[in-house]
Amino acid sequence: MRPQSISLLSSQRGYMLLLVLVALVAMMISGIALVRSMDTNQLVAGNLASRNSTVHSADQAVQTAVNWIVANATNGALYNDAPASGYYAEEAEPTWSSPAVWSQCATCAIAVDGAGNQASYVIHRMCTAAGSPTNPGQFCSTANSSGSSGTVTSHKNNAFDGTTAALNFYRITVQVSGPRNTLSLSQAFVTL
C-alpha cells in the first residue's frame, strides 16, 4: 500500500455514521408526526360527518313538528297543552338535559335513521299562558300584520293583507341522540 492511502484511513473517525443516524432519527420523528396528523384529520372528518347527519335528522324532526302544528292549527288544539303530542301552549325553559322532558311524548320520536340517529321534538307556543292568544292579559310573540309605519310587511310567501290576524311563534326544540353516545340540541322558530 501506498503511504498516502494509509493516512486517509487513519484520519476517518466515524462522523458520517453519526450524521446518518441523526438524519434517520429526524426522518422517523417526521414520519410519526405525519401519521398522527392523518389520524387527527380522519377524526375531524368523522366528527364533521356525524354532525352533518345529526343536522339532517334534526331537520326531519322539525318538519314533522311543523306538520303536527299545521294539522292542529284550525281545531283549537293549539290553545291547550298536549304533552302526549309534545306540545305546550305556553313558553317554558325546561332543563333540556332531563330525560323527563323527552319521555312524555312517545310519538315525538322520529324513527332511527340510516346514520343511527334518534331525533325527538318538543313544541312550545311562545305565549305567557295556555288559552286563546286574544285572552285579556295574554301575551304571545307574534308576527304583526303591519310594520311600524302602517305598511304591510311579509314574513312568508303568502304575504299579509293587513286584515289577517297576527301569526303566533312556535319554538321547536329537537334532541338528536347519535350512535357515538352524543346528544345535540337544535331549535327552530316558526310562525303559523
Asked if 172 and 123 count as a contact pair (C-beta separation under 8 A), the reply is yes
Q: Give the residue from 34, 67, 57 showing the smallest Cα distance to 183.
A: 57
Which class for 51: exposed (0-12), middle (13-18), buried (19 or more C-beta within 10 A)?
A: middle
Does residue 65 surpass a pLDDT of 60?
yes
Q: How many CB atoms lie within 10 A of CB 24?
A: 10
Share of the chain above pLDDT 70, in %: 81
Q: Quickly state the pLDDT bin for 133 (edges 50, 70, 90).
A: confident
Q: Quickly state the pLDDT bin for 152 (edges 50, 70, 90).
A: very low
